[in-house]
Amino acid sequence: KAGVTQTPRYLIKTRGQQVTLSCSPISGHRSVSWYQQTPGQGLQFLFEYFSETQRNKGNFPGRFSGRQFSNSRSEMNVSTLELGDSALYLCATSGGVVSGELFFGEGSRLTVL
């Protein structure tokens, strides 16, 4: 069974640009969550989607947005990039037998110069 796939794995952008990250969930998983991880703030929840609807949203500015498609694949977008957006962005999906068990991808490491 394939795991959670995130693309791209690494990317470098400059301030002011925008970026789109993609997450393909485990087959059958309908919940997709996004997290940002930085050395200073740790793992922080961005948003969660279920059946194409945003179910929860973390405390991030409107520059951070996401969406989920009918096949449960999800994308997140960050516009007007700032240096502080440099982070590991992790996608997690759920739908497994254990309620509350999240399966994480390996992340997309974004560097903003």
Partner 1 sequence: DAKTTQPTSMDCAEGRAANLPCNHSTISGNEYVYWYRQIHSQGPQYIIHGLKNNETNEMASLIITEDRKSSTLILPHATLRDTAVYYCIVRSSDSGYALNFGKGTSLLVTP
Q: Which residues bind partner 1 (CB under 8 A)?
A: 4, 31, 33, 35, 42-45, 48, 50, 55-56, 58, 90, 92, 94, 98-107
Taking Cα atoms as reference points, which of 88, 73, 76 lies closest to residue 25?
73
By beta-carbon proximity to partner 1, the closer residue of 16 and 101 is 101
By beta-carbon proximity to partner 1, the closer residue of 44 and 65 is 44
By beta-carbon proximity to partner 1, the closer residue of 47 and 81 is 47
- 73-83 residues labelled b (16+ CB within 10 A) or e (exposed): ebbbebeebee
From first CA to last CA, the distance across the chain in angstroms is 37
State the nearest-atom distance from the C-beta of 15 to partner 1, in Å: 25
By beta-carbon proximity to partner 1, the closer residue of 56 and 80 is 56
Helices (H) and strands (E) in the chain, counts: 0, 11
State the nearest-atom distance from the C-beta of 96 to partner 1, in Å: 9
State the nearest-atom distance from the C-beta of 50 to partner 1, in Å: 8
Query: What gap in Å lies between CA 74 and CA 113, rounded to an integer?
Result: 26
